[in-house]
Structure 1
């Protein structure tokens, strides 16, 4: 015996999808990105800051460009 089906209470009238995200769904990835970027851009604070000179020069160049 088939069960009766119920229609949706609010059928979609437009062709686009309406998705709402909570505020933290955007804030948390942004916070993680900024934190990692700051760790990369400030290698002097790292305990073992020895590395390839090319990487150090690249990081210094990025710092100079962001300081402008």
Structure 2
């Protein structure tokens, strides 16, 4: 016979919890918890949008050099 697990209830009010069966938990985020990911995404998107202005953009891509080195190593 399985053992019964007691259910926990949280007090509603200033503690931020909810009672069992009320439909969900409401959490408030500070402003920086939303602003920092948005700023990071924007910065990375701008770097991807204008790669031609990067200092090493005219050089051979590193990925093709790695693939060429792997091909050379395997064929030996």
Report the structure number with the largest CA radius of gyration: 2
User: Following superposition, which runs of at least 4 residues in structure 1 exceed 2 angstroms of deviation?
Assistant: 7-13
| Structure 1: runs of 5+ lacking an equivalent | 1-6, 53-68
Matched length: 46
- Larger RCO: 1 or 2 (CA < 8 Å, sep 6+): 1
Higher helix share: 1
| Structure 2: runs of 5+ lacking an equivalent | 1-8, 13-17, 62-76
In angstroms, what is the RMSD of aligned CA positions?
2.3
TM-score, scaled to structure 2: 0.48
Distance of 1:39 and 1:47 partners within structure 2: 12
TM-score, scaled to structure 1: 0.53
